[in-house]
């Protein structure tokens, strides 16, 4: 039923053909030309079978569109959002892939104040920030979304990127959502300085709290 609803949405809004998809790190951060090899965080090993397949309720004023992709022949859905102006004046755009499970080895879950976390792309869920610390440079992987009413209900949202091919068959329907098809997906984005500082602060607190051998 969920896939049928998505198919109907695609038929009503048009199809955009897309090309290769890659994990490139934070698209809004300057490239670090001194960085070594790209991050190989376990959480970045994408398992399409763990992707959330049912349509999710979204925040109306921040959703840009939804795009259908193909990973190893398995269709997934990429949500295009922008940050709400009430949280960030820049209103930066992100492409995210919701996942049921994620390998959390080396990943730090950064909590944010409730007045921010409950202003969510997915209503009814509060968010926290996922940063991988296994890399030479900390990588912002995405977010964890936890139900406000049932903390045991959660999912993850990985930042992904991809290259669009020339648009081949788009049916313009005002500002309605559009869906497309793509091949490969890349995950993660370099963590900004303030995020790295939070990770280091958490590590310092944890070290001080650990008993001395």
- Count the helix, strand and coil residues of the chain and give each as a percent rounded to the nearest 5: 20, 30, 50
State mean pLDDT over 112-132.
Answer: 95
Say how far apart CA 149 and CA 203 lie, in whole Å.
29
Q: Tens of pLDDT along 21-53?
A: 554 555 665 554 344 566 678 888 888 889 998
Q: Tens of pLDDT along 64-116?
A: 999 988 877 888 889 999 999 998 888 999 999 999 999 999 999 999 999 99
Say how far apart CA 38 and CA 136 lie, in whole Å.
9
Give me the phi and psi of 114, to 5 degrees please.
-55, -35
Say how far apart CA 32 and CA 35 lie, in whole Å.
5
Say how far apart CA 3 and CA 20 lie, in whole Å.
23
Say how far apart CA 21 and CA 78 lie, in whole Å.
11
- As a whole number of Å, the CA-based R_g of the chain is 18
Instruction: Decide if 154 contacts 147 (C-beta within 8 A).
Output: yes
Instruction: Decide if 59 contacts 94 (C-beta within 8 A).
Output: no
- Predicted confidence band at 17 (pLDDT cuts at 50, 70, 90)? very low
pTM of the model: 0.69
Strands in 28-73 per DSSP E: 63-71
């Amino acid at each position: 039923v969920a896939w049928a609803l998505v198919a109907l949405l695609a038929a009503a809004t048009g199809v955009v053909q897309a090309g290769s998809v890659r994990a490139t790190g934070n698209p809004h951060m300057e490239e670090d030309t001194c960085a070594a090899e790209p991050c190989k965080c376990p959480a970045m090993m994408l398992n399409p079978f763990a992707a959330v397949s049912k349509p999710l309720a979204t925040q109306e004023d921040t959703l840009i569109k939804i795009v259908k992709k193909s990973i190893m022949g398995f269709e997934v859905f990429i949500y295009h959002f922008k940050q709400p102006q009430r949280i960030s004046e820049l209103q930066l755009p992100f492409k995210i892939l919701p996942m049921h499970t994620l390998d959390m080895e080396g990943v730090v879950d950064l909590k944010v104040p409730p007045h921010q976390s409950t202003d969510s792309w997915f209503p009814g869920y509060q968010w926290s920030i996922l940063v991988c610390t296994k890399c030479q440079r900390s990588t912002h992987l995405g977010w964890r979304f936890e139900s406000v009413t049932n903390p045991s209900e959660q999912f993850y949202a990985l930042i992904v990127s991809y290259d669009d091919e020339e648009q081949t068959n788009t049916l313009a329907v005002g500002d309605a959502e559009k869906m497309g098809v793509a091949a490969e997906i890349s995950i993660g984005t370099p963590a900004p300085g303030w995020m790295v500082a939070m990770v280091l602060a958490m590590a310092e607190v944890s070290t001080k709290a650990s008993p001395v051998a």
